[in-house]
Amino acid sequence: MLRESRLDPAAAHYRKVVPAGDYWIHPVKTGETLRIVDLEGNQAVDTLFYNLDDPAEHYSASDTIREQGNLYLSAGSILLSDLCRPMLTITADTCGRHDTIGGACSTESNTVRYALEKRSMHACRDSFLLAVAENDHFGLTKRDIAHNINFFMNVPVTQDGKLEFADGVSAPGKYVEMRAEMNIIALISNCPQLNNPCNAYNPTPIEVLIWGADA
């Protein structure tokens, strides 16, 4: 469901552009709003969420899908943890569809899906691993890399139950906005994938913004 935001970007207390292929990790406190902006369109934004106060609790794709009865996320969706507790609520969305099942690209999947020589190409799992290694103060390790959300990514399910990586449904300036229902850690890999159309074979930057709970 499409829904415009009432928040003014000029009033955000945090703004950062994240280049394609880079990671971003940052706390978002209860009641704060996080916006992810697809600056140039059709970019895939692989995202993980953790409970800041107990990082063992993390976003759960299976619980979120089951409770909302939908494979895709949009305005009104509640992102649940593996304890089935609300982590974030999508309060605004101008894209209308975000993937929950496509997972993150890795060097191994690049090899299996595409070609042996693709193994050395950078991938989202590498970004996640680098993020937790360089930010050990959050208490995360590689064992905490769980199933992620792919914001702006289009992964249709075919009639025979298979997945397809299709052209994106986003466009320049589209965004998704979430209100934190607990203190969370947001971890993003701005996908560098060059081998499928999830980002139109052209990885591009995104912007993240955060507003206070009183915004």
Q: How confident is the model at residue 115 (pLDDT cuts 50, 70, 90)?
A: very low
> Global pTM?
0.92
- Whether 58 and 51 have beta carbons less than 8 Å apart is answered as yes
Closest to 149 in 3D by CA, of 76, 50, 18: 50
Strand ranges (DSSP E) for 70-143? 78-80, 86-93
* More confident of the two residues 101 and 39: 39
What are the tens digits of pLDDT across the range 116-130?
Answer: 454 455 788 899 999
Question: Does 1 map to a domain?
Answer: no
- Whether 180 and 34 have beta carbons less than 8 Å apart is answered as yes
The pLDDT of residue 123 is 83
d(CA 164, CA 146): 21
Question: Does 118 map to a domain?
Answer: yes
Strand ranges (DSSP E) for the chain? 14-18, 23-28, 33-38, 45-51, 78-80, 86-93, 149-151, 174-180, 184-190, 206-211
Q: What integer best gives the mean pLDDT of the chain?
A: 89
Question: Does 2 map to a domain?
Answer: no
* More confident of the two residues 198 and 147: 147
Domain around 183: 9-211
User: Mean pLDDT throughout 125-140?
Assistant: 96
The pLDDT of residue 105 is 75
d(CA 87, CA 186): 11
Can you say whether the dihedral through the CA atoms of 84, 72, 68, 91 is positive or negative? positive
Domain tally, the chain: 1
Angle at 41 between CA 102 and CA 163, to 5 degrees: 20
